[in-house]
Amino acid sequence: MKTGVRDFVGFVTLLIVAAVALTIYAGYYTVDQGERAIVLRFGEVTKISEPGFHLKFPFMDSVKNISVRSTKLKNEFAVYSKDVQGADVMVSVNYSLNPAFVTDIYTKYGTDYEARIINPQIVAKAKDAFGRHNAVETIQSRDALAKMVLDDLQEYFTDTGLVFESVQIENIDFSDEYERSVEERMKAEVEVAKVRQNLEREKINADMVRTKASADADAKVASAQAQAESIVMIGNAEATAIRTKSAAIANSPAYVSYMQAERWNGQLPSTVLPAAGVMPILDLRGE
């Protein structure tokens, strides 16, 4: 065989081997875990493949892989609050694609559905939420604002296969001048709150003092009443005793002699008046 013929045969053989290798390579594909593969035949969707190894018709079928994992998107854009304060915000959104809706998503938006439908709606819903609140409210209620954006996104994408899991307002950057005014306002509110707290404390202390004074006064009144009642009782007892003695004296002259004998110390008077008829204090004569 001539050299030219051998070279041609070798070249053809090399082409055949290359074509076979290319055909084999083009006849299979793999799908990673967390993805789905859209198999297109001349541009038409023929099936959706699960993760793993798959075969396809070489040069006829093409494959588009789409992630169904949870994905985080970040968007930075300008917004205006209800009181017309401009701010640059960064909003991050976690979402995933329901595998059952892969065909619908690809048919409507292709593989760039994030840029075509998701990101524009994130911006629109966030701007709408910020526009419903004053600037101070957006700073103080960031979590509530994020919840509002999440609710709006979930409602908008209902039954589309796009599942929105969470929204975070990562940054709100107002102008330096406005942030200084907010800081000064918040400081003033803190001072007002302190003054109110001090007034409440003083009011409570005054109430406690009045309560204690009232209790002391009630105790003094009660003590005085008890003392007065005791004096009255003693006086009544003494008056009763006096009345009893007076009645005894009036009704029994011998009671007087008994009282004199009870109080006599046993000594006779050292001096007796000469007047006639004067008798000693005690009449010791027997009858």
User: pLDDT at position 276, please?
Assistant: 47
Pairing of strands 35-41, 44-49: antiparallel
Q: Are 152 and 122 in contact (CB under 8 A)?
A: no
Average pLDDT over residues 139-152: 92
Q: Are 78 and 88 in contact (CB under 8 A)?
A: yes
Q: Is 247 helix (H, G, I), strand (E, B) or coil?
A: helix
Residue 247 to residues 151, 213, 241, 256, 262: CA-CA distances in angstroms?
A: 103, 50, 10, 11, 18
Tell me the chain's radius of gyration from C-alpha atoms.
56
CB atoms closer than 10 angstroms to residue 94: 15
Strand partners, 72: 94
- pLDDT exceeds 80 at position 131: yes
Share of the chain above pLDDT 90, in %: 32
SS3 string, 94-105, reads EEEECHHHHHHH
User: pLDDT at position 235, please?
Assistant: 67
Better pLDDT: 191 or 130: 130
